[in-house]
Amino acid sequence: MTEQAYLVLLSMAEHPRHGYAIVKEVASLSDGAVNLGAGTLYGLLDRMGAAGLIDTAGEEVVDGRLRRYYRLTENGSAAASAETRRLAALARRAHAVLARPAIGTI
Amino acid sequence: MGTAGGGTTGAGVSAQPSGKGARWERSAQFWMRAYPRRWRVARGEELLGVLLELASPDARRVGARTAADLVRGGWLTRLREHPPLLAWLGYRVLDRRVPERYRAWAKDDIDGVFYGVRLFLSWSSVLAVFGVITARSGGASGDLFGSAPEIAVILLVGTALSALFAPGYRRRRAQLLHLAPRPGDRLYEGRLVVQDGPRTRVDARSGLRWLAAASGVLAAASIVSVALAPLGTWAALTPAGPDSSAGLTIEAGPIAERAPAYLVLAVGLVLVVPAVRRVHRWIPTRVEQPHRRLRPAGVAGAARVLILMAAGLGILRAEIVGGLPLAIGPVLGACMLVLLATALAGLRECRRPGAAPFAAVDVVRVLTHRGPPEVDGPVPVLGVLRGPVPDGVVVPPPVLGGPRYPVLPV
């Protein structure tokens, strides 16, 4: 799973969000490092939808514009959790490696 | 998402230009064309909304980064939804159906403006491969068909003409072949199914005008050909000259005098009278045509008539310069005289006050069928299945003697 895909999944973890809200949430989750373009976002949404990770959760019209909301499915939730565990384990190992004193030089 | 082909929700990219102005929206829609049409219909409005919210408030057009992102996203979407190579080749070259999940792709392909061009390109590339193979394999086939490049040119022109001559028919045929559900396929609301549709005909007012012009030109050229074409016995003209190319010796009957040719033309002239009488007798009878839709001839219709006319002129020119024996000219001339008179009579019927509109083909048909114009039957077309459709309904098997396609009551 790419970092972008992971962040998009995470952005929907709390509650369903529409496209623009996902972009904003991804930016805030990544501390401003990841700014999704609309084209990239919809590519991710398409693929996640096809893979059954997300689902649509209703529409509303705001200022004459259609907004569609997306939510995590159980599979999507499980995928996000698995990725989080993997990253956590990776971070633990990284800490362990960095904590060891460096022995000599090559 | 896997909803393609099902009930799409978005009603296309519409929406009033709110705040940003029409110029920004036009620019966004231009770049969104990178996405397939079905995608834009289903989600374009939503994407436009997100683009609007992401853009800076004073932007007058979509920025370069966003444009690049849209083009990349659009083409990745196209690539993702494109059938795999083998399925695609089968569809393009052998007219095989693509698997169910690519049905929506096929629909976009067939409905697209450039469908005729795509057909033409795929056929001509097959021809190019064929040409290269025959050229490589050398003598045997070359002797049979003449040189490969010539065949390729002839077939190329043929396919170009076929793309020009029957675009509507081709599209409808492709829709039925590639998109219509087969017996046993599940039905759901919004699915494309075969229905009775109207038969489209060129209306008399615009169609006959072109027909009259073309048949008039051809009739005049035929008369010129009959008057000027060289006479003589063909077989005697091309024997063993040292530079005469073999293969063009035509053994067909030569014409030694002009009288028979004039006689044929005169027969045509005589036939004009009953033809015109038939048009005025039968065209004014009102016939209900519930399954007919009239359309103007348009540019494509005019182009078709002009191409046929050019072909006829080519033959007549060959007769006049002596390339062909005088044989086609008189017959063509007689037919064109009748057609010209019929077309002119039909045009007069159009101008009659209170005349009901009719099709150009009605006038031509009157020539061969005594009686009021035939009633067009419905043609199978694809339409959206309106709901509600009960769960588990499938397309019924075809009935012997029934319609060629499963026509559902809708």
The confidence score (pLDDT) of residue B232 equals 61
User: Do residues B365 and B177 make contact, with C-beta atoms less than 8 angstroms apart?
Assistant: no
CA distance B219 to B337: 6
Got the DSSP string for B193-236?
Answer: EEEEEPEEEEBHHHHHHHHHHHHHHHHHHHHHHHHHSPPB-HHH
Q: Do B16 and A64 touch (CB under 8 A)?
A: yes
Which chain A residues are Cβ-neighbours of B53 within 8 angstroms? 20
**Span B145-151, mean pLDDT?**
57
Write out the two tokens for A77. 């939730």
The confidence score (pLDDT) of residue B8 equals 37
CA distance B387 to B381: 18
What global pTM score does this model have?
0.64
Cβ of A51 under 8 Å from any chain B Cβ?
Answer: no
For residue B318, name the pLDDT band (cuts at 50, 70, 90). Answer: confident
Cβ of A23 under 8 Å from any chain B Cβ?
Answer: yes
Q: What is the dihedral of CA A72, A73, A75, A78, to 10 degrees?
A: 50
For residue A1, name the pLDDT band (cuts at 50, 70, 90). Answer: confident
For residue B7, name the pLDDT band (cuts at 50, 70, 90). Answer: very low
Query: Does the structure show a pLDDT above 90 at B87?
Result: yes
**Span B335-341, mean pLDDT?**
96
For residue B30, name the pLDDT band (cuts at 50, 70, 90). Answer: very high
Query: Does the structure show a pLDDT above 50 at B13?
Result: no
Q: Give the nearest chain B residue to A49 (CA atoms).
A: B1
Task: Give the tens place of pLDDT for each residue, A3-58.
Answer: 999 999 999 999 999 999 999 999 999 999 999 999 999 999 999 999 999 999 98
Q: What percent of chain B has pLDDT over 90?
A: 30
CA distance B364 to B373: 10
Angle at B360 (CA atoms; ends B356, B364), nearest 5 degrees: 115
User: Do residues A66 and B46 make contact, with C-beta atoms less than 8 angstroms apart?
Assistant: yes
Task: Give the tens place of pLDDT for each residue, B240-286.
Answer: 445 545 545 544 444 567 888 899 999 999 999 999 999 999 988 88
Cβ of A38 under 8 Å from any chain B Cβ?
Answer: yes
Q: Do B18 and A23 touch (CB under 8 A)?
A: no
Task: Give the tens place of pLDDT for each residue, B387-404.
Answer: 777 887 888 777 777 666
Q: Do A59 and B9 touch (CB under 8 A)?
A: yes
Query: Does the structure show a pLDDT above 80 at B108?
Result: yes
Select the residue from B53, B75, B80 to test the A interface by mutation, using most A Cβ atoms within 10 A. B53
The confidence score (pLDDT) of residue B143 equals 46
The confidence score (pLDDT) of residue B152 equals 63
Who wins on pLDDT, B241 or A103? A103
Cβ of B12 under 8 Å from any chain A Cβ?
Answer: no
For residue B239, name the pLDDT band (cuts at 50, 70, 90). Answer: very low
Tell me which residue of B272, B237, B266, B267 sits closest to B251, measured CA to CA: B237
The confidence score (pLDDT) of residue B346 equals 94
Q: Do B70 and A38 touch (CB under 8 A)?
A: yes
Q: Do B72 and A39 touch (CB under 8 A)?
A: yes
Of A38, A63, A68, the CB nearest to B54: A38
**Span B52-69, mean pLDDT?**
88
Tell me which residue of A91, A23, A19 sits closest to A59, measured CA to CA: A19
Got the DSSP string for B121-139?
Answer: HHHHHHHHHHHHHHHHH-H
Cβ of B185 under 8 Å from any chain A Cβ?
Answer: no
Q: Do B71 and A39 touch (CB under 8 A)?
A: yes
**Span A60-65, mean pLDDT?**
84
Q: Do A43 and B15 touch (CB under 8 A)?
A: no
For B361-370, which contacts have Cβ atoms below 8 Å and span 24 or more sequence positions? B361/B201, B361/B202, B361/B207, B362/B204, B362/B283, B363/B204, B363/B208, B363/B279, B363/B283, B364/B211, B364/B339, B366/B278, B366/B279, B366/B282, B366/B283, B366/B342, B367/B275, B367/B278, B367/B338, B367/B342, B370/B278, B370/B282
Who wins on pLDDT, B18 or B57? B57
